[in-house]
Amino acid sequence: MTSGSPNRGFDAGRLMSLPSLYHPSFEHDACGIGCIAHLDGKPTHGLIEDALRMLINMEHRGATGADPDTGDGAGILLQLCDPYFQDIAKEVGLELPEKGTYGVGMTFLPKDERLKRRCKSHILACCKELKFELIGYRKVPTRGRHAGIGITARNSEPAIEQVFVKSKEKLGSEVLERKLYVLRKRIALTLDEECQKDFHFASFSSQTIIYKGQLTTEQLKFFYSDLLDSRFKSAIGVVHSRFSTNTVPSWAMAQPFRYLAHNG
């Protein structure tokens, strides 16, 4: 601006009228997020059903690729339901300690058995290093093709297992959560490069758990049998329908993430 010329200020209308690559018609909302909670804190299976219904109603906020049966991603975060996990652990021959003293890792593992064994050996070593006892694993029941998931999602589908651990130290709930965070980071960051490619913790907590995948919103509840079990109850539910923008769809990049869900 030359000396003495008037300062016209910022003229948004004039800027919008200038020729450019931008036009308001190109703007689109992306991703869908939702949260539902019982104010009295009482967990019910009905809340999980309502959260999944809310997720399905946000299908238009998600996306698919050339394969219409492979979604960009969908997921749900729920409370860790102790009575339910005590029951399902017993069904696979495991015994969990009392509520609030153990953690559950929702784990995406390589399907290659050699790599899966290496991952589990590394998890065990990290548990010993950080004074955790590895209680055992449970293969998460999934329906795959019977849930209607597309060929693209099936080709990249990981082996999904829940790992149960407890601290060898007597810890309060907040300290246990912090130690589980450190354990998760230790495992993920020190895993060898060949294994890292197909390894991911969807969640690792003593308080919450996440079910997610490269799925459409409607496929999620049919893919994970746990979500249809009336014994599974929660007082909170956070859901996410993904529209991938600057990253490609994948099982690991589906949301919610371990602490949040976001829209773009």
User: Distance of CA 234 to CAs 25, 63, 96, 259, Å?
Assistant: 41, 28, 19, 16
- Pairing between β-strand 208-213 and β-strand 132-139 as defined by DSSP bridges: unpaired
Instruction: Identify the three-state secondary structure at position 99.
Output: coil
Other C-beta atoms closer than 10 Å to the C-beta of 237 total 23
The β-bridge partners of 34 are 239
Q: Residue 79 in contact with residue 235, Cβ under 8 Å?
A: yes
> Comparing C-alpha atoms, which of 240, 219, 221, 238 is closest to residue 230?
221
Other C-beta atoms closer than 10 Å to the C-beta of 54 total 19
Q: Which of 31, 119, 126, 195 is labelled catalytic?
A: 31
> Comparing C-alpha atoms, which of 66, 34, 154, 243 is closest to residue 253?
243
Q: Is 195 a catalytic residue?
A: no
Q: How wide is the angle at C-alpha 107 spanned by C-alphas 140 and 49, nearest 5°? A: 55
Q: Residue 173 in contact with residue 206, Cβ under 8 Å?
A: yes
Task: In whole angstroms, give the CA distance from residue 88 to residue 111.
Answer: 23
Query: Any idea which residues carry the catalytic annotation?
Result: 31
